[in-house]
Amino acid sequence: MKRLETTFAGLRLKNPFIVSSSSLTNSAEKNRKWEDAGAGAVVLKSLFEEEIEAEADWMSHGSHAEELDYLQTYQRAHRLDEYLRLIKKTKAMCTIPVIASINCYRLTGWTDFAKQMEKAGADAIELNIMSVNTEIADEYGAFEREHIEIAKKIKQTCNVPFLVKLGKNLTNPIPLIHQLYAHGASGVVLFNRMATPDINLKTMKLSRGEVLGVPTDLYEPLRWIGLASHRVPRLSYAVSGGVHDGESMIKALLVGASAVEVCSVLYKKGAGVIGEMLHALEAWMEENHYTQISDFKGLMNAGKTGGGATFERTQFFKQFGKYE
């Protein structure tokens, strides 16, 4: 499958299939299984900033502020040590690129952990900046500036490539993506999947919405990577969300992605789906006489299909104009 090779954020991948950060990638043994099944890279389960803080809060119930600070420091160090062992063991068992993941929501000392992850052998760092910004006193644009400050800190801290996985709660991702590129990001992943709330009408309590993604989640990443890969072309892109089969992988590459991060369909169908999707990609390339991914990557982005209106407005009229 040499024809399926791709470059994503400076990493050479044997194919565009990346196993996304989740419980699927929380052990070296699992990660070796994904490599054996054909994956091109893995993103390790994230080190969650909020989760560790919550653990420290629970342990310090009723304690003084000084004890809480101590417990937070201890928990961070303990969890980081566990994570570094995961990186080292996965690197020892796998030959594909291993991407460490930090799930953070603010600029703190957490960004310094990237250097230790690099030393442990991580080939790249993914920053999953996950936050719902609801503070009424916040200045407009403060949320985006936080992304940029985190990226700047990571660039100062480590030398391996770093990616930023963005949420959907951005009015216009394009200027932010441009600034992330200007401050050293090697790639952007669109989009992270946030927990969704629901309401249990019997108990009248908030409950958890659907956890796993669905194929229609693909549409928004297609739109924004189709636009961004044209307007900020030197950055690498990966689609996350809605990639459930070979056709969706092909569509991601056509709008300008270099890779796809896949999770939900692996929970649903298991490791065998990797080979199925790669076979479908290769068969489509054969049918259309493409010898390598670079022959068609970005062929359907905004620059090749008539500009941004194709993704922004034109499709609206085509899709809904016939309905009365």
In this prediction, residues 273-284 reach a mean pLDDT of 97
pLDDT of residue 49: 63
Question: Is the distance from CB of 147 to CB of 170 less than 8 angstroms?
Answer: no
Higher pLDDT among residues 66 and 24, named by residue: 24
pLDDT beyond 70 at 316: no
Higher pLDDT among residues 57 and 42, named by residue: 42
pLDDT of residue 271: 98
What token pair was written down for 134?
């609801």
In this prediction, residues 265-289 reach a mean pLDDT of 97
Cα four-point dihedral sign 256, 261, 266, 271: positive
Distance between CA 123 and CA 231 in Å, rounded? 27
pLDDT, tens digit, 9 for 90 and up, residues 218-238: 999 999 999 999 999 999 999
E-strand ranges in the chain read 6-8, 11-13, 17-19, 41-43, 47-48, 98-104, 124-129, 162-166, 187-190, 197-200, 205-208, 236-240, 259-262
- Min mean pLDDT across 8-12, 155-159, 314-318 is at 314-318
User: pLDDT category, 58, cuts 50, 70, 90?
Assistant: very low
Distance between CA 174 and CA 241 in Å, rounded? 19
Question: Is the distance from CB of 11 to CB of 161 less than 8 angstroms?
Answer: yes
In this prediction, residues 200-224 reach a mean pLDDT of 92
Question: Is the distance from CB of 38 to CB of 278 less than 8 angstroms?
Answer: yes
pLDDT, tens digit, 9 for 90 and up, residues 148-175: 988 898 999 899 999 999 998 888 899 9
Residue whose pair of structure tokens reads 């590459």 in the numeric block: 253
- Domains of the chain in start order, with CATH, are 2-320 (3.20.20.70)
pLDDT of residue 64: 52
pLDDT, tens digit, 9 for 90 and up, residues 107-132: 566 677 889 999 999 999 999 876 66
pLDDT beyond 90 at 1: no
pLDDT of residue 107: 57
pLDDT beyond 90 at 189: yes
Higher pLDDT among residues 114 and 246, named by residue: 246
- Please report, rounded to a whole number, the percentage of residues in the chain having pLDDT higher than 70: 82
DSSP 112: G
In this prediction, residues 230-257 reach a mean pLDDT of 97
- Most confident option among 43-52, 87-96, 123-132, 310-319: 87-96
pLDDT of residue 56: 45
Distance between CA 221 and CA 81 in Å, rounded? 34
Residue whose pair of structure tokens reads 């030197």 in the numeric block: 234
Contacts of the segment 24-30: beta carbons below 8 A, 24+ positions apart? 24/263, 24/266, 24/267, 26/86, 27/86, 28/86, 28/89, 28/90, 28/92, 28/93, 28/94, 29/93
Question: Is the distance from CB of 114 to CB of 176 less than 8 angstroms?
Answer: no
Average pLDDT, the chain: 87
